[in-house]
Amino acid sequence: MSFKIQPVIADASFRSFYRLLLNKKKRIIVISRREKYKNLVAYCAVNNHLRKNKILSPKLFNHDLKNGIIVIEDFGKTSFYKILTNKKNKIKTYKKIVDLLIKIQKIKPKSKIKSIINKPHAIKNYSNDYLHKESDLFFDWYLPLFFKKQKVKEIKKNIKKNLIKLYKKLINSNKCFVHKDFHVQNLMKVGNRIGLIDTQDALIGNPAYDLASLIDDVRIKTTGKLKNQIYKYYIKKNSKINKDDFFLNFNILSVQRSLKIIGIFSRLYVRDKKDKYLKLIPHAWKLLESRMATEVFSELKKNLDKNIPKVVRKKIINK
């Protein structure tokens, strides 16, 4: 028996990944010493649920939960981020990704799914409380990089009022499977198919959320024209949806996601000593600003402009 183990570039989680080459077969070893339930149990449960619904997601081969280890299918090294960054005509590829998203959204939502432990894994609803908890990361981790404690408290109090009103405007919030991080780095080219990874945070929520994750992906810069093409293709393929309601949902959730991402990248820097995500924050601000063009965001935009000037938004950290 011959084998080789190679480290794989880590993501933003508490997981480590290794490629196992065993007798010409490839596997991925995932090790998680922290947040074992989310990173191992939930991940395997959601992957299995997706596979049962004909969505390509990593198959589980073996696990040792006590030591925080699972062995899963290897989808290779080619993500759609790599493909799209080197491709001039991107819309054809994005259409295939949208087709996959629509297929995922047709999965009948289940609050409990089978897991690798004795009890089922609960897929929770993407409630307004959850949305606030996520956008609070912006106030709790990003703002302290630039402002003193009292100023942070004042900004948070004012902007939270705007967000409460906005999240209450969401329509048909909990109706389909939401991956929660549906962007091109989590989509792998597996032969002629698209493999979906990083599924552990899946919830039942608004169908606009994953589309916003794809179109307003902070990791890859796309033109406004391309963003509109992707959005229109999704709408065309979902002709029964209320276009006005969906557009409102899309913009609110894109704003929420950008606030969350700015907060997460700041937390990775402060708490986890991972600074490589800081360079993405100015672009996240641009995405956030671009989605606040309509009247419904006027108060939020006013408060953000008043308290966080654009000169601050362009900075990576307060130096």
Give the global pTM.
Answer: 0.94
Whole-angstrom CA distances from 20 to 43, 188, 195, 222 are 19, 18, 19, 35
Q: Answer whether 187's CB lies under 8 Å from 108's CB.
A: no
Q: Answer whether 13's CB lies under 8 Å from 34's CB.
A: no
Q: 132 in a domain, yes or no?
A: yes
Give yes or no: residues 66 and 101 share one domain.
Answer: no
Give yes or no: residues 223 and 169 share one domain.
Answer: yes
Q: Answer whether 288's CB lies under 8 Å from 216's CB.
A: no
> Which CATH number fits the domain that encloses residue 117?
3.90.1200.10
Give yes or no: residues 57 and 98 share one domain.
Answer: no
Give yes or no: residues 128 and 184 share one domain.
Answer: yes
**pLDDT at position 172:** 73
Give yes or no: residues 195 and 253 share one domain.
Answer: yes
Give yes or no: residues 165 and 60 share one domain.
Answer: no
Q: 318 in a domain, yes or no?
A: no
> Which CATH number fits the domain that encloses residue 9?
3.30.200.20
Give yes or no: residues 109 and 47 share one domain.
Answer: no
Helix/strand/coil for 237: helix
**pLDDT at position 8:** 81
Q: How many domains, in total, are found in the chain?
A: 2
Q: Which residues of the chain have pLDDT under 70?
A: 1-3, 10-12, 317-319
**pLDDT at position 228:** 98
Give yes or no: residues 48 and 95 share one domain.
Answer: no
Helix/strand/coil for 268: helix
**pLDDT at position 12:** 62
Q: 211 in a domain, yes or no?
A: yes
Give yes or no: residues 60 and 89 share one domain.
Answer: no
**pLDDT at position 24:** 77
Q: 235 in a domain, yes or no?
A: yes
Range of the domain at 157: 80-313
Give per-residue pLDDT as tens, 149-175.
999 999 999 999 999 999 999 987 778
